[in-house]
Amino acid sequence: MSPYVLDGIYCQPMTFQVPLDHTQPGGKQLTLFARTLTDKNRRNEELPLLLFLQGGPGFGAPRPTANSGWLKRALQEFQVVLLDQRGTGQSTPISAKALAHLSPAEQADYLRHFRADSIVRDAELVRAKLSPDRPWSLLGQSFGGFCCLTYLSLFPEALQEVYITGGIAPIGRSADEVYRATYRRVAAKQKALCERFPAMQGMLDRLAAHLHSQDVRLPNGQRLTVEQFQQQGLDLGASGGPEGLYYLLEGAFDGEQLSDAFLYQMQAMQPFNSHPVFAILHEAIYSEGPATDWAAERVRHQYPACQWQPGQPLQFTGEMIYPWMFEQFRELQPLKEAADLLAAKADWGALYDRARLAANQVPVACAVYAEDMYVEFDYCRDVLGWLGNSRAWITNEYEHNGLRADGERILDRLITLNRDR
């Protein structure tokens, strides 16, 4: 694949072959896509490698557009590796069409291989190709931070340093516990939003009543329902997200009907049709054995405010996955039976080695956001209490997307934490 130069960055795309099932290296193979990024003036230097692990699960690595943000800081001393995790981006992507030739049981068996343990084993094969004689470093955002802890559990000898932003996994916590905390966080974020914008709750309630009484269709033909709109609480946990929701609602109606602009925006804001792994495996990232059994749906019944009924205030949900999504979202419908099988799966493998993590010697620096809506602060603090050789910068300056909002400063702070020991 041809290299190119972008804003002073030398970019080299490449592909790798890895086994679907790492216990069967000679079996079915997947293609991984990655690109290395280097300061064009340092191309001939043997720079240490930094692997960026993207949040999700189910989202490809960022596509560089400029030498800015965290990338600008990283390129001062690293060659950066952007890897599309298996099933995402250009790495043998998962879609209903791609899996249509398989039965639901076969789809579920295939999809079980797309959690952090497989992602990390993929990454280690990539390292063996790019840096066989030298450990590399990791930068993990959100779910990417979960992957960092799995990497430390499986291959600590392959790592020089680890940087985690908004991604300390809630090790030892069940999916039910995670979702209880998340429901509470979303409610607090909505309360703050409505206090800032007094008209917000009234606009939410008007929209909910309209969606309930009318057959509203998105441009792709999918019906927009109240419960789908509740999921836009996802945006409350990112800087600029609450304000964006307010302005979205402010211009939602054209007279008594929803505007075309609003409907196009809503369709674009839903990640589930275009990123099915996010829906299919989100609950599974929290299990090291027991079935999740649609945990977010079960826990939802403990929060009556989230069970919208006509005449009551609309309460957002957030980063939760529900079984009804596989009936309402067009690209998820063909995967409903497989999703049910994965929700019932009661023999998920371990993702973390607690003893090895407690004895960890690899320097780990973490940015922990005290008001993070997606990764519960109290659970992060518990894990950091026993994670070996780790240091944390705890701050309420940023939301979960801090690395995107102010990445140069955040990564510089973490590098200083790791080096100043």
Q: Which residues are catalytic?
A: 142, 347, 400
- Which pairs with CB-CB distance under 8 Å and at least 24 residues apart come from 1-7? 5/40, 6/64, 6/65, 6/66, 6/67, 7/65, 7/66, 7/67
Task: Please answer whether residues 83 and 32 qualify as being in contact, where contact means their C-beta atoms are separated by less than 8 angstroms.
Answer: yes
| Distance, CA of 221 to CA of 217 (rounded, Å) | 5
Joined together, the tokens standing for residue 147 give 């992957």
HEC string of the chain equals CCCEEECCEEEEEEEEEEECCCCCCCCCEEEEEEEEEEEHHHCCCCCCEEEEECCCCCCCCCCCCCCCHHHHHHCCCCEEEEECCCCCCCCCCCCCCCCCCCCHHHHHHHHCCCCHHHHHHHHHHHHHHHCCCCCEEEEEECHHHHHHHHHHHHCHHHEEEEEEECCCCCCCCCHHHHHHHHHHHHHHHHHHHHHHCCCHHHHHHHHHHHHHHCCCECCCCCECCHHHHHHHHHHHHCCCHHHHHHHHHHCCEECCEECHHHHHHHHHHCCCCCCHHHHHHCHHHHCCCCCCCCHHHHHHCCCHHHCCCCCCCCCCCCCCCCCCHHHHCCCCHHHHHHHHHHHHCCCCCCCCCHHHHHCCCCCEEEEEECCCCCCCHHHHHHHHCCCCCEEEEEECCCCCCHHHHHHHHHHHHHHHHHHCC
